[in-house]
A and B are shown apart, each in its own frame.
Chain A
């Protein structure tokens, strides 16, 4: 009974996503596009956190879902590989590794890079003319007032804040950090927007929809201190072999998804509260991917 409720039409392609805003957006796009091309799709969106969705695919329970190129560093335990800091190399590397090891194919990635970033209150950024992390480092080192809200993971994992600090040469004292155990970017961004406990900077994802709404400005990572996280559809090789046309259906759509597009679409879902399916359909229609 329980098992049968999990497996719908036998030959339908099981599409999943992570349990977050962008996962819902990209997953809905995949479901709609496949169905519009007459391919049966089984909607399993918002399945769970990254490890769960990834394990489900490795176990063959999920056929297709959006994943981020930089996560290859964790999947294949190659965190120190410099390739993850370059969009093209990161994509090529994860595509190669996943194909060879798991027979999973990475289709074309979006140009948008949803990496970890630091966002500053816009009033502070404008008053001090800060647009990049190099500016931020100069400001922080010259005694400018900074208080950064971030998750413990962001503060401690070598690829996140320590990577920024090393690349741009700044150091935040303990009193300049507000660390939230298990915090996510919606919490840190809100802390900065509302200046909770004097916070004026926040851990953020570059494609977060909330940034513009909450009057926050992203600081550019010109030196690519961060791992590149471009979203791409990943599909099990055996499923792609049965439906090779999927590549041609999804590739142009993902290639069209720029950082600005994703920020706007995520904002519609997160800030205005529109349904992810509606936002996805609007974008696909407006850009001629759906009739």
Chain B
């Protein structure tokens, strides 16, 4: 017998194997020790059995002939089990902390991350097979975000080491998150202000492209740590201050220029010559052609570039912590220094969430322009 839905088959098989063989939680006597990895079965019956059972159910569903109804069941089950898994992790962590000494730390293990990833992929796959619209996707996301927020605010995660790291630095976290967003927002804004006109300039004269892209390509190849470091001396000499937000933003802008310029150029050059000739024939001025024809028609490609830039800048801004610019990277580098994985995650997970959110929002925006090229 062959599975009908191979994606669900492979993913749920992985999730099932993780439930049986991999550690779901790791319990360490203190923040520095590696600790002991415990599987769902070692942690106790009901949540483990429920989670494993759900994986088996998804595995069984992969053999059912593909139909919309089945996809809906798979989608619903994947989301429900994803949320249940979060709840189970918090519940089991709190349970394993009873009568444990003060320093004890409970961290999420491989089984948690593997099943979480597989379930998310199953849900995304089902949404794609269902040809789900923006609203349906938003709804699925909202359910997961709301459930996570509820579980967090209900204190269910308080037993987890990750939450302990957050609680000891709540104020710092808010400041770092805000700082991270500010760095990225200013950098992307400046990259658009500089890059979009530059892209237009190249589009108007294709002979200019080799030089411009040559320089921008070269900038892109400089390793980020090196670029941040290289900016310190010249900026200090200029009296701007080579440390802190300014060099970080400059570096982020330099990295962001290539995608912005390239996609602006591609968007404008990609507009059908016939459309432009028609507009000219109707008596539109070059400025009107730019604002009413070229920019709106090139917008989806420009936004695709912006998407790359935003996601890239959110990730790169981590390194900015090394030149005193703050942001979520300060947790990542403190965590690496202390060998505290959960502190690294406290910086990394929100960064991933920010990147996904930016990607999602800009994809929505691009979809809007594609559908209504007015």
Contacts and interface: CB of A to CB of B under 8 A. Distances in A.
Which one of A6, A16, A273 has the greatest number of beta carbons of chain B within 10 Å?
A273
Interface stretch (B207-215, B237-245, B296-304): B237-245
Contact of A47 (B169, B183, B243, B249): B243
Contacts of A275: 168-169
A213 B330 contact: no
Interface residues of B, number: 39
A52 B322 contact: yes
Given A273-B168, A275-B168, A1 B186 contact: yes
Interface of B is mostly: helix
Contacts of A53: 324
Interface stretch (B10-18, B54-62, B89-97, B333-341): B333-341
B243 A59 contact: yes
Given A46-B330, A55-B236, A273-B105, A190 B34 contact: yes
B31 A52 contact: no
Nearest to A20: B337
Interface in A235-260: none
Contact of B324 (A56, A189, A193, A271): A56
Nearest to B30: A271
B32 A186 contact: yes
B371 interface: no
A190 B324 contact: no
Contact of A52 (B32, B243, B245): B243
B323 A52 contact: yes
Given A5-B179, A273-B165, 12 more contacts: A2-B182, A3-B246, A6-B241, A6-B244, A19-B334, A24-B334, A47-B324, A52-B243, A210-B32, A272-B103, A273-B103, A273-B168
17 contacts: A2-B246, A3-B240, A6-B244, A19-B333, A20-B334, A21-B337, A55-B242, A61-B241, A186-B338, A214-B32, A271-B30, A271-B32, A271-B103, A272-B30, A273-B31, A273-B103, A275-B168
Interface of B: 30-34, 102-103, 105, 161, 164-165, 168-169, 179, 182-183, 186, 232, 236, 240-246, 249, 321-324, 330, 333-334, 336-340
